[in-house]
């Protein structure tokens, strides 16, 4: 048996090369996703400003809740959690504590770029020392780090005089120091501090009893210093898991099709083995061992290459701002071993399943390949119908999901499940479709006649080719147009709901908003700040607007938005709340509040699930500076003059808001999966064509010219591409319709031009992947 396995691998290099490539790409993607997942689980962020502090006391960056069966769960909050300032005194009172230094953290602008300000008293947390100048003493003085010497410092709408420069700088953050009293004023959190540094390293839990404060040491200090980096770890967990799961499903679909095609091309060989007394079990074992041999080799190489796409994705995530630069990839054996194991098992299982019917053929069927190729086993039909039913159920579920976190993974899974159903039911569906599509070809010239005959005879082979092309179109359309659906629906709501004449932003200080209110002709200035809050453990988008908000039309369906105050909230229709209800939630910095619902509105895509009074939300975000909307008849010149002291520019209308970094990062991650689907499609087409050299030789001997054969292949591929793109488009349309119904309440909004380009590109790739190996095969002698 081992001899047959080795002989098969040696003699059918093209067939096994196709399976090798598919398994290699699958293992590389799974390994890359596993690397991101491992980074999310085990990645650490080295402290910079807290590098000289043995212990850092800070607020809990998670909200906790008890779920079913008494299990406690935690979810990260969106902003920095603050702690009572008097904790520093309690910590100093502990035996063994040498000192406890509190600090505050607030946003500043350094040289036109964002940075963070602190009180000079907390400079020793690093420690920062002066290279030149002196410490800040008055309310208009600041000290900058070594990387920003000579830069202008702005905070709270004011420009500060730089009186000193430190000897060092933090690598991943611009750091500015102010007089302690001024720093607390700019932070705007009376009685609170962002962290407390403790010397030496000692257990301070006794002083923290009864509070939500936590003590951190070692690398955990970096998580306190960079809370956004800690939240990025959670993003990497979800992205890595999505890549692994999607890649495995695509791999099973692609590899099973590739192996099935390979076995179809070996029907005569396998039948002859049966004729010389090989049992079905022996054939299955031989095919399984072949798959194991190819799978182990391909998966090992692919898994070892996985860190390369993982590093590329991390680089892109950093460029997009979805992941901080100081969160580095964590390498280890687990992603590689998991990728090898998952890919090898997927390849072996696909081979064994594909071999079940092939191994039962009778020896006399060696000369009856047509009959074998046209039959579809009842088991496959039953499984196909069950998967089809599952696709319908999942589509219905998707149509009821109204949050991005819930719908995003389901939308890709739905498209994949529909594609699997098409793949399982492919031969009979392809046979029926090609019977209709080939009617005009039967009366055409030699190329068309030959193409029609081939398509009717080899419907099983064509079904194997249709599947990866269908997957490519369905997956790409679903991923691209789910994004355009949300963007266009959001833009439409924002355009309809923003009635302001001008906008300014982002990061507009309150002082600039006050200056705009004093410009003649301005009737209203609305400050808008955005964040996310938690209702229980569910994350919801929120905005805070100043009183009146006459520049916004949220589409209020009940209540009065004018009644908004610090103790109230307006909610989107999707939350299922009514006017007068009381809502308990956790603000972005972990502060629990109870607010009364005073209005319900419809335009949640553009304006968030909840709308608060600006004063309430701004007091609980890291950066209270936001966007400003201006209504009235004031001239642009007057508005521009009012903004000039703050270094801001005037905009017009609602403006376009680009997709967030998380959405861009998801598109990058899924782009690799789309690339895998593209490689699989090219691989399958090239494999299906290269194995037809015997057929081409017979056609040449029968008098067919190279031009006629290439014309035949072009027509075949065009019809197959037409069938695949139609099926992929239908799958994407069904999936996107359900997605749009749940998320926007309207129809999907694809880009017609992009879709036509995708169809044309798919057809071009299919033709190229068919004709190039065909030309190589036709160069061989006809005998």
118 three-state secondary structure: strand
For the chain, the average pLDDT equals 83
Per-residue pLDDT, 662: 67
* Least-confidence region, from 76-90, 356-370, 475-489, 490-504: 356-370
Q: List pLDDT tens digits, range 188-231.
A: 899 999 999 999 999 999 999 888 899 999 888 888 888 877 77
Cα-based distances in Å from 32 to 141, 310, 312, 657, 664: 49, 5, 10, 31, 18
The answer to whether the beta carbons of residues 163 and 193 sit under 8 Å apart is no
Could you tell me which residue, 332 or 272, shows the higher pLDDT?
Answer: 332
Residues β-bridged to residue 109:
114, 154
pLDDT beyond 90 at 596: yes
The answer to whether the beta carbons of residues 122 and 146 sit under 8 Å apart is no
224 and 89 inside one domain: yes
Domain boundaries, position 193: 55-228
Q: Give the other-Cβ count within 10 Å of 68's Cβ.
A: 5
* Residue range 776-783: mean pLDDT, rounded: 65
C-alpha of 145 from chain center:
36
Q: List pLDDT tens digits, range 536-552.
A: 888 899 999 987 767 88
621 and 704 inside one domain: no
Q: Which tokens go with 431?
A: 């046979």
Per-residue pLDDT, 703: 74
Per-residue pLDDT, 677: 83
Per-residue pLDDT, 444: 57
Specify the number of domains making up the chain: 4
* Least-confidence region, from 337-346, 440-449, 660-669: 440-449
529 three-state secondary structure: strand
Type and span of the H or E element at 108: strand 106-110
Listed ranges 261-265, 409-413, 606-610, 654-658; the one with the highest mean pLDDT? 606-610
Confidence bin at 660 (pLDDT 50/70/90): low
* Residue range 284-308: mean pLDDT, rounded: 85
Contact residues for 688 (Cβ-Cβ < 8 A; gap 6+): 261, 461, 464, 465, 770
Per-residue pLDDT, 368: 53
Q: Which tokens go with 697?
A: 């030789």
SS (H, E, C) 685-740: HHHHHHCCHHHHHHHHHCCCCHHHHHHHHHHHHHHHHHHHHHHHHHHHHHHHHHHH
Per-residue pLDDT, 390: 92
The residue out of 348, 374, 400 marking a domain boundary is 374
* Least-confidence region, from 11-15, 366-370, 418-422: 366-370
Q: List pLDDT tens digits, range 680-709.
A: 888 878 877 777 777 777 777 777 778 877
Write down the pTM of the prediction: 0.81
User: What own/partner pairs with CB < 8 Å and gap ≥ 24 does 63-66 have?
Assistant: 63/534, 63/537, 63/586, 63/590, 65/536, 65/537
pLDDT beyond 90 at 409: no
Q: List pLDDT tens digits, range 124-143.
A: 999 999 999 999 987 889 99
106 and 217 inside one domain: yes
Percentage, residues of the chain above pLDDT 90: 30
414 and 336 inside one domain: no
The answer as to whether 452 is a domain residue is: yes
Tell me: cis bond preceding 127? Omega within 30 of 0 counts.
yes
361 and 382 inside one domain: no
Packing angle of the helix pair 446-457, 706-743 (nearest 10 deg)? 60
Tell me: cis bond preceding 645? Omega within 30 of 0 counts.
no
CA gap 343, 248 in Å, rounded: 8
CA angle 119, 124, 125 (to 5 degrees): 90
Per-residue pLDDT, 367: 47
Confidence bin at 617 (pLDDT 50/70/90): very high
CA gap 645, 770 in Å, rounded: 64
Cα-based distances in Å from 469 to 190, 209, 680, 716: 62, 61, 9, 14
pLDDT beyond 90 at 263: no
Q: List pLDDT tens digits, range 707-718.
A: 877 887 887 788
pLDDT beyond 70 at 429: no
Per-residue pLDDT, 370: 40
Q: Which tokens go with 527?
A: 């400050």
CA gap 175, 117 in Å, rounded: 6
86 and 219 inside one domain: yes
Could you tell me which residue, 728 or 658, shows the higher pLDDT?
Answer: 728
The answer as to whether 310 is a domain residue is: yes
1 and 61 inside one domain: no
* Residue range 327-334: mean pLDDT, rounded: 84
CA angle 550, 551, 556 (to 5 degrees): 65
61 and 175 inside one domain: yes
Confidence bin at 582 (pLDDT 50/70/90): very high
Residues β-bridged to residue 106:
117
CA gap 21, 19 in Å, rounded: 6
* Least-confidence region, from 47-61, 672-686, 727-741: 672-686
CA gap 64, 534 in Å, rounded: 10
Confidence bin at 365 (pLDDT 50/70/90): low
pLDDT beyond 90 at 775: no
pLDDT beyond 80 at 301: yes
φ, ψ for residue 83, nearest 5 deg = -130, 160
pLDDT beyond 50 at 371: no
User: What own/partner pairs with CB < 8 Å and gap ≥ 24 does 455-458 have?
Assistant: 455/716, 455/719, 455/720, 456/431, 457/370, 457/373, 458/373
Packing angle of the helix pair 404-424, 378-399 (nearest 10 deg)? 160
Positive or negative CA dihedral for 369, 371, 375, 377? negative
Closest CA to 258 of 350, 348, 344: 350
pLDDT beyond 90 at 454: no
* Residue range 754-773: mean pLDDT, rounded: 89
480 and 491 inside one domain: yes
pLDDT beyond 50 at 600: yes
| Sheet strand arrangement including 214-216 | 99-103, 195-199, 55-58, 214-216
CA gap 157, 509 in Å, rounded: 6
Q: Which tokens go with 160?
A: 């500060």
The residue out of 597, 630, 652 marking a domain boundary is 652
Q: Give the other-Cβ count within 10 Å of 625's Cβ.
A: 22
Confidence bin at 462 (pLDDT 50/70/90): low
Packing angle of the helix pair 307-320, 661-690 (nearest 10 deg)? 150
C-alpha of 131 from chain center:
44
pLDDT beyond 50 at 535: yes
pLDDT beyond 90 at 501: no
The answer to whether the beta carbons of residues 565 and 613 sit under 8 Å apart is yes
* Least-confidence region, from 42-51, 79-88, 308-317, 444-453: 444-453
Could you tell me which residue, 691 or 402, shows the higher pLDDT?
Answer: 402
The answer as to whether 709 is a domain residue is: yes
266 and 369 inside one domain: yes
Percentage, residues of the chain above pLDDT 70: 86
Per-residue pLDDT, 421: 87
Per-residue pLDDT, 5: 47
117 three-state secondary structure: strand
The answer as to whether 50 is a domain residue is: no
Q: Which tokens go with 779?
A: 């160069």
194 and 64 inside one domain: yes
The residue out of 374, 406, 434 marking a domain boundary is 374
Closest CA to 138 of 177, 89, 178: 178
CA gap 115, 136 in Å, rounded: 18
641 and 684 inside one domain: no
């Amino acid at each position: 048996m081992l001899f047959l396995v080795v002989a098969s691998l040696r003699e059918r290099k093209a067939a096994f090369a196709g399976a090798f490539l598919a398994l290699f790409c699958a293992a590389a993607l799974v390994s890359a996703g596993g690397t991101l997942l491992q980074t999310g689980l085990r990645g650490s962020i080295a402290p910079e400003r807290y590098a000289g502090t043995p212990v850092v006391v800070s607020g809990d960056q998670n909200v906790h809740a008890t779920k079913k069966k008494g299990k406690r769960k935690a979810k990260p909050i969106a902003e920095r959690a603050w702690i009572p300032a008097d904790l520093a005194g309690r910590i100093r009172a502990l035996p063994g504590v040498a000192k406890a230094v509190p600090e505050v953290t607030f946003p500043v602008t350094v040289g036109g770029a964002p940075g963070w300000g602190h009180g000079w008293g907390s400079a020793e947390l690093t420690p920062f020392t002066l290279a030149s100048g002196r410490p800040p003493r008055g309310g208009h003085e600041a000290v900058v780090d070594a990387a920003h010497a000579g830069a202008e410092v702005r905070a709270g709408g004011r420009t500060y005089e730089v009186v000193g420069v430190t000897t060092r700088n933090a690598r991943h953050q611009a750091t500015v120091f102010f007089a302690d009293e001024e720093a607390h004023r700019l932070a705007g959190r009376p009685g609170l501090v962002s962290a407390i540094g403790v010397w030496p390293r000692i257990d301070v839990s006794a002083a923290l009893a009864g509070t939500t404060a936590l003590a951190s040491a070692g690398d955990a200090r970096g998580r306190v210093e960079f809370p956004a980096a800690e939240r990025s770890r959670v993003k990497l967990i979800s992205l890595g898991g999505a890549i692994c799961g999607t890649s495995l499903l695509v791999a099973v679909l692609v590899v099973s099709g590739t192996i099935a095609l390979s076995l179809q091309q070996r029907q005569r060989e396998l039948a002859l083995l049966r004729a010389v007394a090989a049992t079905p079990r022996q054939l299955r074992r031989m095919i399984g061992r072949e798959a194991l041999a190819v799978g182990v080799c391909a998966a090992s190489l692919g898994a070892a290459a996985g860190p390369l796409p993982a590093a590329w994705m991390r680089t892109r995530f950093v460029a997009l701002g979805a992941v901080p630069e100081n969160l580095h990839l964590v390498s280890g054996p687990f992603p590689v071993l998991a990728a090898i194991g998952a890919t090898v098992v997927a390849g072996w299982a696909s081979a064994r399943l594909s071999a079940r019917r092939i191994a039962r053929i009778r020896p006399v069927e060696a000369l009856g390949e047509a009959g074998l190729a046209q039959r579809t086993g009842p088991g496959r039909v039953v499984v196909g119908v069950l998967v089809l039913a599952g696709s319908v159920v999942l589509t219905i579920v998707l149509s009821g999901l109204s949050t991005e976190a819930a719908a995003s993974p389901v939308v890709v899974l739905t498209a994949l499940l529909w594609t699997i159903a098409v793949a399982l039911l492919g031969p009979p569906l392809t046979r029926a479709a090609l019977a209709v599509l080939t009617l005009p070809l039967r009366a055409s010239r030699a190329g068309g006649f030959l193409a029609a005959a081939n398509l009717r005879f080899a419907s099983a082979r064509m079904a194997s080719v249709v599947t990866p092309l269908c997957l490519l179109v369905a997956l790409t359309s679903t991923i691209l147009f789910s994004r355009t659906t949300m963007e266009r629906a959001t833009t439409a709501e924002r355009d309809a709901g923003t009635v302001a004449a001008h906008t300014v932003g982002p990061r507009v200080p309150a002082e600039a908003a006050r200056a705009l209110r004093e410009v003649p002709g301005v009737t209203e200035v609305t400050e808008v700040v955005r964040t996310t809050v938690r209702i229980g453990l569910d994350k919801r988008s929120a905005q805070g607007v100043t009183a009146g908000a006459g520049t916004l039309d949220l589409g209020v369906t009940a209540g009065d938005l004018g009644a908004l105050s610090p103790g109230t909230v307006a909610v989107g229709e999707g939350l299922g709340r009514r006017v007068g209800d009381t809502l308990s939630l956790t603000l972005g910095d972990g502060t629990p509040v109870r607010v009364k619902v005073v209005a319900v509105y419809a335009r949640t895509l553009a304006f968030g699930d909840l709308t608060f009074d600006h004063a309430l939300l701004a007091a609980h975000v890291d950066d209270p500076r936001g966007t400003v909307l201006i209504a009235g008849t004031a001239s642009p010149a007057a508005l521009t003059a009012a903004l000039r002291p703050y270094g801001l520019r005037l905009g017009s209308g609602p403006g376009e808001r680009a997709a967030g970094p998380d959405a861009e990062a998801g598109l990058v991650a899924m782009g690799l999966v789309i690339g895998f689907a593209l490689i699989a499609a090219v691989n399958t087409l090239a494999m299906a064509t290269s194995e037809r050299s015997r057929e081409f030789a017979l056609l040449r001997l029968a008098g067919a010219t190279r031009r006629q054969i290439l014309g035949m292949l072009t027509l075949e591929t065009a019809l197959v591409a037409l069938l695949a793109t139609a099926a992929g488009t239908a799958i994407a349309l069904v999936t996107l319709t359900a997605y749009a119904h749940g998320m926007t309440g309207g129809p999907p909004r694809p880009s017609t031009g992009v879709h036509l380009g995708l169809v044309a590109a798919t057809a071009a790739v299919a033709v190229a992947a068919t004709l190039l190996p065909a030309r190589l095969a036709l160069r061989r002698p006809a005998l």
